[in-house]
Amino acid sequence: MEYFLQNLINALQWGSFYAVISIGYSMVYSILMLFNFAHGDIFMVGTYIGCGIATLFLSLFSAFLPGWLIFILTIVVTMFLTSFVGVFVEEVGYRPLRQAPRASAAITGLMIGIIFETGNLIILGAQRFKFPALIKSVAYHKGGLYFTNVKIMIVGISILLMLALHVFIKKTKWGMAMRAMSFDSLAVPLMGVSINVIAPLTFAIGAGLASVAGILYGQAYPILDPYMGILLGWKAFVAAILGGRGSIMGAAMAGYMLGFIEIFVAMIFPSTFRDLIAYSIILLILTFRPRGFFGMEHSIRLRL
């Protein structure tokens, strides 16, 4: 039982990364019917930006500001900066291809990803960066369970962000425009709403969320490398598919589910089998429910 609960805590943390990143895929898909395959690498860039900001702020402010405040400042500034990466990807990469076949956009996304990875190598070199610890890790032992304040914080901030996004989409006019676009993007300009405002905004939010996932990831796994976004990005993409194309709620839930499946498979089987078994399970789910948990019936016609 304790062993189970212990793994549950780990699964929650692991699922939080997937959930927050996969929302970025789903949001973009819901408004533009395309998957932004550069998203994993936007996560990577966001993590590096976060690492740089955290290092800078620690050296500047640690003498007179408390750690939690530096942590929050790092999150806010990193989100802000990384959102421009998202806007850049939309405007330079995808906007010229709005009318082009979706496959062109998919390839463009992959190329942008490669440019980010190799660009990172060229600018920063092959040295591995270490994400500074922004929160002093405190370990708790309660009834045989072992967990740290960092783990709680990762799960807490992720859920808080997703709730904030939910409120944004339900209550603001920009969120309303996004929902309208997910229903019928052709009619949206007739309402006086520019798609060239809503699309970059959506990319900006997705990128901002990914960068927070990056900061949180850096607190749990501090060694960064330019290819860190690939595997995490693809797995978050799987979560977005599993949740149902375009469904933000579905992406979040599937992100956690993916975390659970991975952790619990590793609990039962040797950990080298983890991905093989975990993704076979997901393949099986998608065989019987190809539109995912919350996908619309009509989105079953696959458009990459």
Partner 1 sequence: MQLKVENLEVSYDKIKALHGISFSIDQGEIVTIIGANGAGKSTTLRALSRMVPSGHDSKIEFMGNDVLKYSADKVVSKLGISHVPEGRMIFGNLSVNENLSLATFARKDKKQIEKDRKWVFDLFPRLFERKDQAAGTLSGGEQQMLAVGRAYMSGRKMMLLDEPSMGLAPILMLDMFDALKEINKLGTTILLVEQNARLALKFAERGYVLENGHLVLQGDADDLLNNPDVKKAYLGA
Ramachandran region, residue 36 (left: φ > 0; alpha: ψ -120 to 50; beta: rest): beta
Closest-CA residue to 71 (of 204, 218, 188): 218
Taking the complex as a whole, the smallest distance from the CB of residue 185 to partner 1 amounts, in Å, to 11
Cβ 279 vs Cβ 196: under 8 Å? no
Rounded Cα–Cα distance for residues 125 and 127 (Å) = 6
Q: Give the pairing of strands 129-130 and 145-148.
A: unpaired
Q: Which is nearer to partner 1, 62 or 196 (CB)?
A: 196
Q: Show the tokens assigned to 165.
A: 């996004």
Q: Does the footprint of partner 1 cover residue 139 (CB under 8 A)?
A: no
Q: Does the footprint of partner 1 cover residue 30 (CB under 8 A)?
A: no
Convert residues 193-232 into a mask of x (bound to partner 1 by CB under 8 A) and - (unbound). Answer: xxxx------------------------------------
Q: Does the footprint of partner 1 cover residue 189 (CB under 8 A)?
A: yes
Task: Label residue 302 exposed, middle or buried (CB < 10 Å: 0-12, 13-18, 19+).
Answer: exposed
- For the segment 34-63, give every residue that binds partner 1 (CB under 8 A): none
Rounded Cα–Cα distance for residues 206 and 109 (Å) = 14
Q: Which is nearer to partner 1, 26 or 78 (CB)?
A: 26
Q: Does the footprint of partner 1 cover residue 182 (CB under 8 A)?
A: yes
Q: Which is nearer to partner 1, 125 or 189 (CB)?
A: 189
Q: Does the footprint of partner 1 cover residue 27 (CB under 8 A)?
A: no
Q: Does the footprint of partner 1 cover residue 13 (CB under 8 A)?
A: no
User: Which backbone phi and psi does 5 adopt, to 5 degrees?
Assistant: -60, -40
Closest-CA residue to 21 (of 217, 170, 245): 217
User: Which backbone phi and psi does 49 adopt, to 5 degrees?
Assistant: -60, -45
Convert residues 232-261 into a mask of x (bound to partner 1 by CB under 8 A) and - (unbound). Answer: ------------------------------
The one among 1, 63, 142, 192 contacting partner 1 by CB under 8 A:
192
Cβ 186 vs Cβ 180: under 8 Å? no
Taking the complex as a whole, the smallest distance from the CB of residue 126 to partner 1 amounts, in Å, to 46
* Residues that bind partner 1 in the complex, under the rule CB under 8 A: 173, 176-177, 179-180, 182-184, 186-196
